[in-house]
């Protein structure tokens, strides 16, 4: 696969072309205050020198390409701020795991379910795992019934939904429960 650029990083990683990197004959020139219309690149460079700002190619694929008069440092700073704001608004959903045993005592189950409710209220998904050991393997169907009743209780009380069906994988029963309401 051949690259259509000479060395260095690909175009997208380097950012927009500025000043002398812009190699076009005409462009649509604009600034924050004023629209200059379609001008030659030489005239655009003269205007940029007079105002003491940089030429930044905003829309290279437009006909003619759009070039803006502004300080390049401020432009990069504004892009960083916009990217940070977008990253801040992304929902970060984590997968938490609750491990159970088929012969779990009532108080232990209550403690684990409280933790599961807290995870679901926080907007995280919860993976429930019931593991069978030794003689418990002979009573998998009883364990599966208990697992289903626990999940139904969790879904009703926490307002959650079972995201993946209950699966038997070796000596474990696994499912994932996701909150229906969004975290605040």
Q: What is the pLDDT of residues 118-139, one digit of tens each?
A: 999 888 899 999 999 999 889 8
Contact call for residues 130 and 172 (beta carbons, < 8 A): yes
- What pLDDT shows up at residue 133? 92
- Structure tokens belonging to residue 132: 């069978």
- Residue 178 confidence (pLDDT) above 60: yes
Q: What is the pLDDT of residue 75?
A: 86
How far apart are alpha carbons 167 and 144 in whole angstroms? 10
pLDDT in tens, 5-64: 565 555 555 778 888 888 888 889 998 888 888 988 888 888 888 888 989 888 888 888
- DSSP letter for each residue of the chain: ---SS-SSS-HHHH-S-BGGG---SEEEEEESS-EEEEEEHHHHHHHHHHHT-EEEEEETTSSSPEEEEE-HHHHHHHHHHHHHHHHHHS----EEEEEE-TT--HHHHHHHHHHHHHHHHTT-EEEEEEE--GGGGGGHHHHHHHHHHHHHHHHHHHTEEEEEEEEEETTEEEEEEEESSPP-
Instruction: Provide the pLDDT for residue 108.
Output: 93
Average pLDDT, the chain: 86
Chain segment 56-112, per-residue pLDDT in tens:
888 888 888 899 998 888 888 988 999 898 888 877 778 899 999 999 999 999 999
Radius of gyration in angstroms for the set of CA atoms belonging to the chain, rounded to a whole number: 30
CB 120 within 8 Å of CB 151: no
The predicted structure's pLDDT at residue 183: 47
Distance between CA atoms of residues 147 and 144, nearest Å: 5
């Amino acid at each position: 696969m051949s690259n259509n650029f000479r060395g260095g990083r690909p175009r997208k990683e380097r950012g927009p072309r500025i000043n002398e990197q812009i190699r076009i004959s005409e462009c649509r020139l604009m600034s924050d205050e004023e629209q200059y219309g379609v001008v030659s690149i030489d005239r655009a460079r003269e205007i940029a020198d007079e105002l003491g700002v940089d030429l930044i190619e905003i829309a290279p694929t437009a006909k003619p390409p759009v070039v803006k008069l502004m300080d390049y440092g401020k432009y990069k700073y504004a892009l960083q701020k916009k990217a940070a704001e977008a990253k801040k608004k992304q929902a970060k959903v984590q997968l938490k795991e609750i491990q159970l045993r088929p012969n779990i005592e009532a108080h232990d189950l209550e403690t684990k379910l409280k933790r599961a409710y807290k995870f679901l209220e926080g907007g995280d998904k919860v993976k429930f795992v019931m593991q069978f050991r030794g003689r418990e393997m002979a009573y998998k169907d009883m364990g599966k019934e208990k697992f289903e009743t626990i999940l139904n209780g969790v879904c009703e009380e926490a307002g959650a939904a079972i995201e993946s069906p209950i699966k038997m994988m070796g000596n474990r029963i696994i499912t994932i429960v996701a909150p229906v309401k969004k975290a605040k």
